[in-house]
Structure 1
Amino acid sequence: MRRASLKDRIPGGTDGRRMLLIGFIDKTGTGLWATSIALYFTYVSGLGVGRIGLLVGISGGFGIVGAPLAGRLADRFPLTRLLIGGQLLRAAALLALLTTDTYALLVLYSAIGAVPDRGTNVLTRLYATRVAGSDRVRYQAINRTVGNLGWSVGGLGAAAALSVATSTAFQLLLAGNALTYVVMAALTLRCAEPQAPARVAAGADSAPGAPDRRPASPWRDRAFLLFTANESVLSLHDSILQVALPLWIVHATDAPVGLAPALMVVNSVLVVLFQVPLSRFGATTDAARRLLTPLACLFAAGTLAFAASAAAGRAFAIVALIGAIVALTFAEIVQATVSWELSVALAPAEAQGSYLGVHALAPATQRFAGPLLLTGVISAGPLAWPVLGAALVATCAAQNRLVRRTLSRSSLSVPVVTVSEH
C-alpha cells in the first residue's frame, strides 16, 4: 500500500497548504519585528524606556478588541476579503511608523496595527477550521508547528540585522515585516472562500408567524463565557515559561542563568516534534474533553518540579527545572489541542466567528494578568507553586464538568453543528 505523500497528510487541500505557507510567512515577519520593536523605538524614534512601555501597553490594549471584532465580521463577510483587508492594514500601519517620530502618531499607528494583528489570528483559525473540516485539530497542530518554525527563522534574521544595530537596519526590519503582509495578501487572493458551516438559523424551522429568536451571541452565553474564563487560567503555561522561568532561576535556585534560554529551546523543539503526533488524541470533541485529566496531571507535575528546584544544589535544580519544562511543554501541547476542538464544538454554527472571537480573549487576558500573578508566586516562594498547581488542577476538573454538561444539554435540544458536519 502506497504511503501517503506529504500533501496527502495535510488537511484542507491546496487552499489549506497555501494558508499554511501564509502562516509561515506571517510568523517569519513577526519574528523579524517583534524581537526588535523596542530597539526600533529607541534608536530610530529616540524614545525612552517609559514612553516605549506606555506605547506598547496602549497598542496592546487596543489590540484586544481585534479578536471579537474580527469574529463578528466573519459571520457577515467572506473570510478571504477580511484577511486581505487585515493584512494590508497591518502593512500600512507599520509603514506609517517610518513617516514620523511624533509620539502621539507613533502610538496611533501602533494601536491601529494591533487591531488587525489580533484579529487575523481569529480569521486564520476560522479559515483553517472550515477548510480542514473534521481534521481541524490536526490542521491546527500543523499550523502551530509551521508557525514556530517561521518565528525561529524570523528571529534568526532579526539577530543578524541587530548585530549591525544602525537606524537603517531597524528600518529595513520594519519594512521587511510590512512586505510580508503584502505577500500574504497576494497569496490570500488565490485562496478560495471556504464553505461556512451549515447554519442552524434561529427560528428557520418554526411555524409561520412564530417569533424568531435573536441570533446566538457569546456575550449572552454564560456557559461559553465561563469556558473562556477557564481557558485564560489554563493558558498560564505561557506566562510560566516566558516570565516565571528566568525570574525563578535567578531569584530562587542555584541553577545557572544561561539555563533559561536553553530550556526555551527545549520547549520549542518539543512543540515542533510532538504537537502534530499528539493532536490525534483530541481529534473528537469527547476525546478532547477527556484530555483535561492528563492535562491536570501535567500541570501538577510541572508546578511541583518548580517548587522542588528551589532546594539546595545546582545539579538537583537543573534536573528539576528540566522536568518542569518538559511537563509544562506537554501541558502546552495538550491544552492547545483541547482548546482548538472544544471552542469550535461549543460554538453555534450561525455565530461561529463571534464565538471564536470571544474565545480569543482568553490568551489575551492571560498575557495581561499572567505575568502579574506569576511574579506574585515567585515572591511568595516555593510553597506557592503547589498552590498554583492545585488551582490549575481544579480548573481542569471544572472545565471537564462544564463542557460535559453544556454539550449534553445541547444534544437534548438542538444538535450541535460543527464544521465537520456540513
Structure 2
Amino acid sequence: MTSTAPAADRAVPPPPARSRPARLLPEDPVLRRLSAITLVNTVGNGLGMTLGVVYFTRVMGFGVGAVGLVLTLAGACGVAAGVPAGRLSDRYGPRPVLVVLLAAQAVCAAAYVLVDRLAVFAVLACLVAVADRGGSAVRGALFAEVLPVDGRVAGRAYLRSVTNTGLAVGTLGAAAVLQLDTRGAYLTALLADAASFGVIAVLYLLLVPSTPRTPEQAARSAGGPNPALRDRAFLALTGLNAVVSLQFVMIEVGLPLWVVRDTDAPRWMVAGGLLVNTALVIALQVRATRGTERPRAAALVFRRGALLVAASCLVLGLAAGLPGWAAALLVAGGVACQALGEVYSQAGAWALGYDLARDGAHGAYQGVLNTGTSGALMLGPVLMTSVVVAHGLLGWALLAALFAAAGWGMTALVRS
C-alpha cells in the first residue's frame, strides 16, 4: 500500500556514519587538501632540519662555528623576507607567489648536495631562508583567502596539529639516517626534502582554489606605503607576539641545555620533553581555539597562554639542585605547562592577526606578524644561553616576567 503521509512527516535517513579515521579528517574539502599538503611539507622539513647541520659538519667537513655563522646570516635574510613577500601576495595573489617561492626552495635545497665550498653553502642557505620565511607569511594570507572567515583560526589549529605530526614522522626518518650514517643516506634524505617542496608547489597550484586579483586590487596593493607598517596597534601586537614566540626557542634550546648542564634529571628527558610537547599540541591545538571569535576574547586566550608559559619557566627553574627523580617530575610538569601555554597563545595570536588586519591586505599584515616571530627565533638562542641558562633560577624568573608582561600587555592593547 502506498503511504499517504506528508513528506515533512516521513523519516529522513540519518547520514552515513563516518569511520574513526574519517572523523579525524576535517569536513571542509579545502582544509583536507591543505592538510595533505602540510603533511608532505612537514615530513620533508623534519628530515631537513634534523640532518642539515650534521651533513655539512660531519660529511662536508665545514667547521661548527662556520656553519653556525652561515645559519645566523640565513636567519637574518629570512627575517627580511616576510614583509615584501606579504606585499607581493596582496598584489598578485598568495597562491602564485607561494608556488614561486616553493619552486625556488626546491631548487636551492636540491643544490645542497652539490655544495663543495662554504661560500656556495652560505648563498644557498640564505636563498632557502628567504623562500621559507617569505612562504610562511604568504601561507597565512592564503589561509585567510581560501578558508571561511569563521573557520580560519580553527583551520590553522588543525594544520598546526598536522604540522607536528609531519615533523615527528620526518624526525623518525632522520633518526634512521643518522643510524646509517653514510653519505648516500644523507644525500637521499636531503633530496627527499627538496622534492617535497616541488610536490607541494604542484599541489598548491592544482588543488587550492584562489580568487584572482582584479586590476583595482593589484593597483591598490602596489601603490602607497605598507598599511601594516603604519598601523601602530598592529605593530605593538607583533612585538608582544614576538616576545611570547620566544617559548619555541626556550623548549628547543633552553630546555636541553638546562636539563643536561644544571639538573640531575635523566638526559633522555630532553627528547621525552619534546615528544610530550608534540603530543599535547597535536591533541589540544584545535580545542584551544574555542572562544577566540572576538578580539577581546582572543586577547584573553593569548594572555592565558602567556601566563602558562611564564609558569612553566618557574617550574623548570626550580628543577636545579633537586634529586634526579624530583627534577624529572618538575621538567615533565614544566614541559606540559609550556605546551598548554603554546596552544592557547598561538590560537589567540592567529585570531588577532586576522581580526585586526585591514581587508584586502592580509599579506601585508601576515608578513609583518611573521617577521616579528622570525626576529624572535633568530635572537632567542642568545637570550637563552647568555641570560636564562647562565643565571639559573633568576634567569628563568626574568623570562617568566617577560612572558607574563606580554600576556597582560596584549589584553591592554586590545581593550584600548
Deviation for aligned residue 1:389:
1.7
Instruction: Name 2:177's counterpart in structure 1.
Output: 161
Cross-structure match for 1:210: none
Query: By how many angstroms is 1:383 displaced?
Result: 2.9
The equivalent residue for 1:301 is 311
Q: 1-side partners of 2:273 and 2:201: how far apart?
A: 35
1:135 paired residue number = 151
Quick one: distance in 2 between partners of 1:384 and 1:162? 34
Q: Tell me the residue number matched to 1:259.
A: 269
1:320 equivalent to 2:330? Answer yes
Q: Which letter does structure 1 place at the counterpart of 2:166?
A: G
Given candidates 213, 232, 242, the residue that maps to 1:232 is 242
Q: Which residues in structure 2 correspond to 1:192-203 (within 5 Å)? A: 192-195=208-211
**Alpha-carbon contact 1:79-1:193 (below 8 Å) kept:** no
2:399 aligns with 388
**Which residue of structure 2 lines up, in the alignment, with residue 62 of structure 1?**
77
Of 180-189 and 290-299, deviating more is 290-299
Distance (whole Å) between structure 2 residues aligned to residue 3 and residue 370 of structure 1: 50
In structure 1, C-alpha distance between the alignment counterparts of 2:115 and 2:317, rounded to whole Å: 48
Identify the range of structure 1 (175-184 vs 139-148) with the bigger mean alpha-carbon deviation.
175-184
TM-score, normalization by structure 2: 0.88
Counterpart check, 1:42 vs 2:57 = yes
C-alpha separation in 1, matches of 2:292 and 2:213: 21
8 Å CA contact 1:135, 1:283 repeated in 2: no
2:181 maps to 1:171: no
Q: Deviation of residue 28 (structure 1)?
A: 0.6
After superposition, residues 90-239 of structure 1 pair within 5 angstroms as 90-133=105-148, 134-195=150-211, 214=224, 217-239=227-249
Q: Which has the higher mean CA deviation after the structures are superposed, 387-396 or 111-120?
A: 387-396
What corresponds to 2:7 in structure 1?
none
Which one of 45, 49, 52 corresponds to residue 30 of structure 1? 45
Moved more, 325-334 or 2-11: 2-11
Distance 1:389 1:397 in 2: 12
Structure 1: which 5+ residue stretches go unaligned? 205-212, 406-422
The C-alpha deviation readout for 1:49-91, integer Å capped at 9, x for no partner, is 2221222222222122222121111110122211211111111
Does residue 370 in structure 1 map to residue 380 in structure 2?
yes
Q: Which is worse superposed, 283-292 or 225-234?
A: 283-292
Shift of 1:44: 4.1
Change (3 A) 1:143 1:396: same
> Could you tell which deviates more after superposition, 24-33 or 218-227?
218-227
- Provide the C-alpha distance between the structure 1 equivalents of 2:61 and 2:32, rounded to a whole number of angstroms: 42
Structure 1 distance, partners of 2:27, 2:280, is 25
More moved, 311-320 vs 174-183: 311-320
Shift of residue 326, structure 1, vs aligned partner: 1.1
Residues 80 and 191 in structure 1, CA contact (< 8 A), matched pair in contact too: no
Q: TM-score, structure 1 length as denominator?
A: 0.86
**May I ask how many residue pairs the two structures share in their alignment?**
395
Q: Which residue does the alignment assign to 2:289?
A: 279
Say which is worse superposed, 263-272 or 79-88, in terms of deviation.
Answer: 79-88
Separation in 2, partners of 1:320, 1:278: 24
Asked if 2 retains the 8 angstrom alpha-carbon contact of 1:62 and 1:115, the reply is yes
Contact 2:38/2:163 (8 A) holds in 1: yes
Give 1:274 shift: 0.8
| Change beyond 3 A, Cα 1:69–1:309 | same
Q: Cα–Cα, structure 1 residues 267 and 8, in superposed 2: closer, same or farther, change >3 Å?
A: closer
Give the C-alpha shift of residue 323 in structure 1: 1.5
2:279 counterpart residue number: 269
Distance 1:230 1:297, change over 3 A: closer
Structure 2 distance, partners of 1:236, 1:61, is: 16
* Distance in 2 of aligned mates of 1:135 and 1:236: 27
Q: Which amino acid aligns with 2:144?
A: T
Query: 1: distance between equivalents of 2:92 and 2:27?
Result: 21
For residue 281 of structure 1, report the CA deviation from its aligned partner. 3.0
1: distance between equivalents of 2:303 and 2:68?
39
SS in 1 for 2:322: coil
Tell me the equivalent position of 1:399.
Answer: 410
Q: Distance in 1 between matches of 2:123 and 2:230?
A: 32
Q: Say which SS state the counterpart of residue 82 (structure 1) adopts.
A: helix
Distance in 2 between residues matched to 1:230 and 1:3, nearest whole Å: 46
Distance 2:307 2:114 in 1: 52
Q: Which stretches in structure 2 are left out of the alignment for 5+ residues?
A: 1-13
- Look up the equivalent residue of 2:118 and give its one-letter code: Y
Structure number having the greater helix percentage: 2
Code of the residue aligned with 2:64 in structure 1: it is V
Choose the corresponding residue for 1:243, options 253, 256, 259: 253
- The answer to whether residue 347 in structure 2 is matched with residue 337 in structure 1 is yes
Once the two structures are TM-superposed, the CA of residue 214 in structure 1 deviates from its matched residue by 4.6
Letter of the aligned partner of 2:28 in structure 1?
G
Report the Cα distance in structure 2 between the residues aligned to 1:320 and 1:162, rounded to whole angstroms: 30
- Distance, in Å, in 2 between the alignment partners of 1:85 and 1:185 is 8
Q: Secondary structure at the match of 1:360?
A: helix
Query: In the alignment, residue 400 of structure 1 is paired with which amino acid?
Result: T
**Structure 1: how far apart are the matches of 2:137 and 2:167?**
18
Report the CA distance shift for 1:254/1:102 in structure 2 as closer, same or farther (over 3 A): closer
Aligned-residue sequence identity (percent) comes to 31
Kindly provide the amino acid, as one letter, of the partner of residue 51 in structure 1: A
Q: CA deviation at 1:191?
A: 2.5
Aligned to 2:5: none
CA distance 1:346–1:196, shift in 2 (3 Å): farther
